[in-house]
Amino acid sequence: MFTIKERIAIARIVSDMIKADNIIEESEIEMLNRFKNDYHLDGHILNEARHIKFSTAVSDLCTLKDEEKIEIFTSIKNMASADGLCVPKEAMLLLALRYAFGIERDKVTKRYKINRKNNVKLISCPTGEASISSQYVIYIEGKNHSSINEIIRKNFEVNVLSLRQWGFDFIYIPSLVDEFKTMNSDYVKDVINYMAPELGKETIDVVYERLIRMDTITFCNHVLADTLNVEEVKNASPSLFINIGTSIVPYCVVSGPVECYTEFLCIPIGEDITLQIKDFIKAYSKLVSFHSTPSSAYMEDNNRFKYFGFYKAMFDFLVKAEPKESDMIVHPWNSSFEFPQIALEDLVLSPQEAAVYKLILECTYNHPLGGLPTYYTKYYDEIISIYKRIYSRENADLPENLAPIRSRIERKMRQHLESLVNIEDYIPRMKDGKYVVSAMPARIQIRNGHYDTPKAFLGYIWK
């Protein structure tokens, strides 16, 4: 028997497969009815499935027994071919399901089996202006791995041609940068000026220099992790990063306003990346009935600045101010927070927001529990006393529900501190029932005639 959560996940995956080719065949509806009967997918289950992402659905099924994973994958694979065709989108969804489940063919019996050492991930990010939309296989790494990079350089053309044959662009950042270096620099700068006319000449020169200095680590940790909000890849091990399509939630507009998410398959690689690319292509080719031509196949000439999909995401990152780290200086007697290493005005919160944020700081660094607890503790009266002292108002009441205030603080921080690399260190988050910040104590200083660390924030000793 499957749980309600698992049945909802199955319903979401089935629905994505039906809609993948934008045509709903009679044979697919017949398969859907079979799924509804076999897995007890009633109207409530189908409606709830509209409100989760494909990647969430797959994740919810990863704890199933081996035989259940194989059964579901086989059934959905049969559905994909029910109309006699398996389009690229269907093939990518099937591959994502297969890799995430760890399904492999036994070399002897030729039957499916589960690789329990599988550590492939499905990753989702909100789709916005800077989204990857075409079929790309991107090499990512959060730290330098010279041996793998050497293999990629030696086999680059082979990998490019192998993937292009099946409709994929292979993106290797150093080669992409070399492509920009071969272009006329004045032409590239004119394009930058056209796309971002608000930039001055000196800034355009800086953007161009950043473009030709881009490396895989910067791309992984800042373009993907920060600009595209794919936080899971920050400091990632060497991996193939493959977009599998867009997940719409809810997937029917009658259920309310929709949100779009780009979904990625992240496959960690060993030393032989070429072999893993071949394995990926082999698995894909056995599923897909036909494939599309990648964009780069008809845009190889120099002095053609591509501004779509992957290229647009990287360009949008480059035209922003170069990210920097900064300490934070707390102003104890007002609502301002100073970030001295970046050229921005002080962050100003409302008095209540500032008081709550300072209370979270105080509790993170000085409280015996290591954060501001959201549940009742023996420290409750002390916490209220500290809050009034921070707020400088004896009649100040600490709200019972701090979640809306925390959300407002995060929103203002993200809007005001967009160019700050270490912004995540300062955003308050919920952890183990407590609100905390993750910045190292030395990063936070107090302006009260001299700078000091959070340990001396109020000089209060907890009982």
DSSP helix/strand/coil, 15: helix
Residue at 183: amino acid letter: M
State the DSSP string of 408-436: HHHHHHHHH-TTBTTGGGTS-EEETTEEE
Q: Is 101 exposed, middle or buried (0-12, 13-18, 19+ CB in 10 A)?
A: buried
Residues of the chain with pLDDT under 50: 128-131, 296-299, 449-452, 459-463
Using the 8-state DSSP alphabet, how is residue 127 labeled? Answer: -
Phi, psi of 104 (to 5 degrees): -135, 165
C-alpha to C-alpha distance for 174 and 179, rounded to whole angstroms? 9
CATH top-level class of 4-114: mainly alpha
- 440 is written with which tokens? 């190292």
Using the 8-state DSSP alphabet, how is residue 192 labeled? Answer: H
Identify the pLDDT of residue 18.
Answer: 87
- Whether the CA torsion 288, 290, 296, 301 is positive or negative: it is positive
Radius of gyration for the alpha carbons in the chain, expressed in angstroms and rounded = 26
- Within a 10 A sphere around the Cβ of 413, how many other Cβ atoms? 20
User: In degrees to the nearest 10, what's the CA dihedral of 27, 29, 30, 34?
Assistant: 140
State the DSSP string of 72-113: HHHHHHHHHTTTS---HHHHHHHHHHHHHHTEEE-TTT--EE
Question: Do the Cβ atoms of 281 and 167 come closer than 8 Å?
Answer: no
Largest CA distance in the chain: 76
- Terminal-to-terminal C-alpha distance of the chain: 52
Three-class HEC string of 131-183: CCCCCEEEEECCCCCHHHHHHHHHCHHHHHHHHHCCCCEEECHHHHHHHHHHC
Question: Do the Cβ atoms of 93 and 191 come closer than 8 Å?
Answer: no
- The helix or strand, by DSSP H or E, that contains position 264, with its residue range, turns out to be strand 259-268
How many angstroms separate the Cα of 354 from the Cα of each of 339, 361, 387, 403? 15, 10, 11, 14
DSSP helix/strand/coil, 382: helix
Q: Domain segments of the chain: what residues?
A: 4-114, 121-318, 328-456
C-alpha to C-alpha distance for 374 and 431, rounded to whole angstroms? 10
| pTM attached to this predicted model | 0.66
- Whether the CA torsion 420, 425, 426, 429 is positive or negative: it is positive
Tokens 């202006």 -> residue: 129
Distance of CA 284 to the CA centre of its chain: 24
C-alpha to C-alpha distance for 253 and 69, rounded to whole angstroms? 31
C-alpha to C-alpha distance for 215 and 11, rounded to whole angstroms? 41
Cis peptide preceding 373, ω within 30 of 0: no
Contacts of 178 (CB under 8 A, 6+ apart): none
C-alpha to C-alpha distance for 72 and 398, rounded to whole angstroms? 50
Identify the pLDDT of residue 394.
Answer: 79
C-alpha to C-alpha distance for 9 and 1, rounded to whole angstroms? 14
Buried (b) or exposed (e) across 74-93, using 16+ Cβ within 10 A?
ebbbebbebbeebbbbbbbb
Q: Is 97 exposed, middle or buried (0-12, 13-18, 19+ CB in 10 A)?
A: buried
